[in-house]
Amino acid sequence: MKKTAMLACALPLLAPLALADNLGFDGKIVEPDCDAMGAWFNCRKIGTAPADVRRGYEYIHHTSKTLGPDGNKKYPDGTPYSTTTIACSSCHFTGGHVPFGTPMYQSPAKYAGLPYFRPLNYRRDLEDSILDCFRNCMNADRTPTKTDPVMRDMVAYIRWLSDGVTDPNMQGPGWINLPGNGLPVVDPDVANMSGDPLAGRGLFNAECATCHSKDGPGRGEYRRGENRPRVPALWGKDGYSRGAAFYNSQNLAGYIKEHMPLGDPLTLSAQDALDMAVYINDQPRPAGMADQMFCHTETDGIPGPLRKPASWLVGCTYPSEPFTDQDILYGPGAPSAAWRNAEINRLKGLN
Site residues (CB under 6 A) for ligand HEC?
Answer: 25, 29-30, 60, 86, 88-93, 102, 104, 106-107, 110, 129-130, 133-134, 137-138, 154, 182-183, 207-208, 210-212, 230-232, 234, 240, 244-246, 255-256, 260-263, 276
CA–CA separation, 217 and 205 (whole Å): 10
Residue type at 2 in one-letter notation: K
Nearer of residues 49 and 154 to ligand HEC, judged by Cβ: 154
- How many angstroms from the chain centroid is the CA of residue 14? 29
Nearer of residues 130 and 313 to ligand HEC, judged by Cβ: 130
Nearer of residues 240 and 312 to ligand HEC, judged by Cβ: 240
CB proximity list for 193: less than 8 A, separation 6 or greater? 187, 270, 271, 274, 331, 332
Strand partners, 165: 41
102 phi-psi bin (left φ>0, alpha ψ -120 to 50, beta other):
left
CA–CA separation, 206 and 148 (whole Å): 43
CA–CA separation, 50 and 327 (whole Å): 50
Q: Whole-number minimum distance, CB 317 to ligand HEC, in Å?
A: 22
Nearer of residues 160 and 246 to ligand HEC, judged by Cβ: 246
- DSSP class of residue 74 equals B
Largest CA distance in the chain: 71
Q: Whole-number minimum distance, CB 54 to ligand HEC, in Å?
A: 15
Closest CA to 2 of 23, 15, 21: 21
Nearer of residues 183 and 290 to ligand HEC, judged by Cβ: 183
Contact yes or no for 283/317 (Cβ under 8 A):
no
Contact yes or no for 141/316 (Cβ under 8 A):
no
The helix (run of H) or strand (run of E) holding residue 254 is helix 249-259
Nearer of residues 191 and 318 to ligand HEC, judged by Cβ: 191
Burial label for 321, CB within 10 Å (0-12, 13-18, 19+), is middle
Q: Whole-number minimum distance, CB 302 to ligand HEC, in Å?
A: 21
CB atoms within 10 A of CB 31: 12
Closest CA to 133 of 115, 154, 149: 154
Q: Whole-number minimum distance, CB 214 to ligand HEC, in Å?
A: 9
Nearer of residues 197 and 351 to ligand HEC, judged by Cβ: 197
Q: Whole-number minimum distance, CB 97 to ligand HEC, in Å?
A: 10
Nearer of residues 99 and 303 to ligand HEC, judged by Cβ: 99
Q: Whole-number minimum distance, CB 267 to ligand HEC, in Å?
A: 9
Q: Whole-number minimum distance, CB 313 to ligand HEC, in Å?
A: 16
Q: Whole-number minimum distance, CB 87 to ligand HEC, in Å?
A: 6
CB atoms within 10 A of CB 81: 23
